[in-house]
Structure 1
Amino acid sequence: MSGEFNVVELSEDQLPAVVRLCRAALDPVRDAPEAAEIIARLCESPGRTPGLVAVAGGEIAGVALSSVGSRDRHSGHLDLLAVVPAHRRAGVGRALLAGTERLLAAAGAHEVRLAGNPPYYAWPGVDVGYTPAICLARRTGYRQDRTAWNMSVDLTDDSRVAQLRTADDEHRLAAAGITVRRAAATDRDALAAAVEAHFAGAWPVEVAHSIGRAGAGCQVALRGGQLLGFAAYGSARPSWFGPMGTFPGATGLGIGRVLLRRCLRDQYAAGVRSVQIGWVGPEPFYADAVGARIERVFFQFRKSLRP
């Protein structure tokens, strides 16, 4: 299908239609089932700029969501660009991208990045499986500058799930005075402050966002009330794990492996059967601890908005 369309600013009442569009346009296994969570997370961004939709024949044919950088206000991010299959190859994606560039320039951005804008992001970059998006980026002057990836853990494998048991390790940690438990709402502020003190970037917001929400959670390790480590999931969306960290002085105790496995058990209990460890590193730890494998690869692009 092709034909005329108009690009207009997204309104709040169009969000349900945008979710339906994303369910039709995104990867049917890895992204479409969490379309509602993706849109909700992107709309929470304090740096969000006006979204755009392409309307054809009274229906939404495409959508673009963008934001200014959480740490660099001169960096603009295209957070989502989706076009329903029936309207592809008709200029919809190109028009939405051009409109987004104008909005970001008006917001003070000096460049546009096709890369995640943590802590409010849907992907680290453009999944290499989304070939039309990569072709559009290259045709419109974007250059690839980095590559990111996710690792996945298959929880449909009963033997893999059985390997997530942590009783022996927790007994060993308890003998050393270390308690491992699920973080409660009363832990949120102290945990976020501790993460901010020791880890740079968006992790404090992601950790805080994982506590007390449906489809999300956080596990912590403590000794004498002192936080030793944390592992969170569901901040980006229910099937994604991370971030995770061990505080200085507590490395080498096996805390990370226990926290990771407890989170994966929580996700399994919630019905998740394939966990994505987002924007991952270090790969050997996750491969050894839970049999994770590199699965999704993302290209990151950028384009200057200056003459």
Structure 2
Amino acid sequence: MRGIREAVAADAAALGEVAAAALVLDAAEAPRLVAGLSDPPAGRRWTALVTGDLDAVVFASMSAREASAGHIDLLAVHPSAQGGGRGRALVAVAEEWLRAEGAAEARFAGNPPCYAWPGIDVRYTPAACLAERLGYERYDVAWNMTADLSAEADLSTEADLVRLADRGVTVRAAGPGDRAAVLDFVREHWNDNWVWEAERATGCHYASRDGEILGFAAWGARAAWFGPMGTAPAARGLGVGRVLLRRCLAEQRDAGQTSAQIGWVGPLGFYSRAVGARAERVFWLYRRDLR
């Protein structure tokens, strides 16, 4: 193994190829994951480290919310180079970088809003085994849900829109002139992570009443994914979320998608009832003390 160094812009294509070869469950999306992690929100402290032969890469970053938390965002070793200790060596150098940045803890866990996955997909068993051999402990579990976008999937909203209109609520797509107001709403009720995602989203819909925004939903901040979505307390119980969700998914279907990922899901029951989404990807979150 040749020496580990920081990646440079000229490495991007090669690293996308390494990720596509190594991440067999995400081969089609892997180059986009590498590109996305290389273009994080302004102010994020991050690094990408590669082996000299460009056959392995690790991305690491510092949390913006917890000053002492660092993240191992993505680790990929080309199949032809696996078994030679590259993954272990890259994680060790990434941990040293995190310590130098002030991290007291390292996590194999997503660093919102720009992350590959919530944690380690349980089907990437070698990655989970590596984390445990390196002394990381499993501390949480997360999951993604999959929504069917086939022609048979019921994404209708007509009846709900009539019902909401009777209560003074309108739902519309957020055009260029509306997006700023939606972002202000997201910032007021949630956080800058969601603002970053909503701003980058391909599509966005919102509900309002008497000029007051009650809820929003977005899709496409990450290819093929739905979210984020939220409703204000004043909208709870109106059924706004179901309409916003279905309108976004319908747009994704019109864009040619046959399914959509709902990432890092909280309300499992809501998505199951609203669109028949199913829990499909399960992730283990790991952490280790660096002190």
Question: Is the TM value for this pair above 0.5?
Answer: yes
1:159 partner amino acid: E
CA contact (8 A) 1:116 1:125 kept: yes
2:67 matched to which residue of 1?
73
Tell me the distance in 1 between the aligned counterparts of 2:255 and 2:77. Answer: 31
CA contact (8 A) 2:73 2:110 kept: yes
The equivalent position to 2:228 in structure 1, one of 220, 243, 263, is: 243
Residue 15 of structure 1: how far off its partner (Å) = 0.8
1:234 matched to which residue of 2?
220
2:194 counterpart of 1:203 = yes
Tell me the distance in 1 between the aligned counterparts of 2:137 and 2:105. Answer: 12
2:81 matched to which residue of 1?
87
Q: Deviations over 1:204-252 (max 9, x none)?
A: 2222221xxxxx22111112221011011122x2111111111111111
1:252 matched to which residue of 2?
237
2:169 matched to which residue of 1?
178
1:26 matched to which residue of 2?
23
Q: Please, what is the CA RMSD of the aligned residues?
A: 1.5
User: Which structure 1 residue ranges, 4+ long, deviate > 6 Å from structure 2?
Assistant: none
Distance 1:27 1:263, change over 3 A: farther
CA contact (8 A) 2:149 2:250 kept: no
1:189 matched to which residue of 2?
180
1:135 matched to which residue of 2?
129
Q: Deviations over 1:164-220 (max 9, x none)?
A: 01112112222322221111233333222222222257222222221xxxxx22111
Which range moved further: 169-178 or 114-123?
169-178
Unaligned runs of 5+ in 1: 211-215
CA contact (8 A) 1:49 1:103 kept: no
Q: What aligned pairs does 1:270-285 form with structure 2 within 5 A after superposition? A: 270-285=255-270
Residue 290 of structure 1: how far off its partner (Å) = 0.4
Percent same amino acid at aligned positions? 49
Residue 25 of structure 1: how far off its partner (Å) = 1.4
2:110 counterpart of 1:119 = no
2:286 counterpart of 1:289 = no
Unaligned runs of 5+ in 2: none
Which range moved further: 14-23 or 283-292?
14-23
TM-score normalised according to structure 2 size: 0.94
1:165 matched to which residue of 2?
156
Q: Deviations over 1:85-109 (max 9, x none)?
A: 1111110101110110011111111
3-state SS of 1:164 partner:
coil
Tell me the distance in 1 between the aligned counterparts of 2:112 and 2:227. Answer: 12
Tell me the distance in 2 between the aligned counterparts of 1:134 and 1:24. Answer: 18
3-state SS of 2:10 partner:
helix
CA contact (8 A) 1:125 1:298 kept: yes
3-state SS of 1:185 partner:
coil
Residue 272 of structure 1: how far off its partner (Å) = 1.7
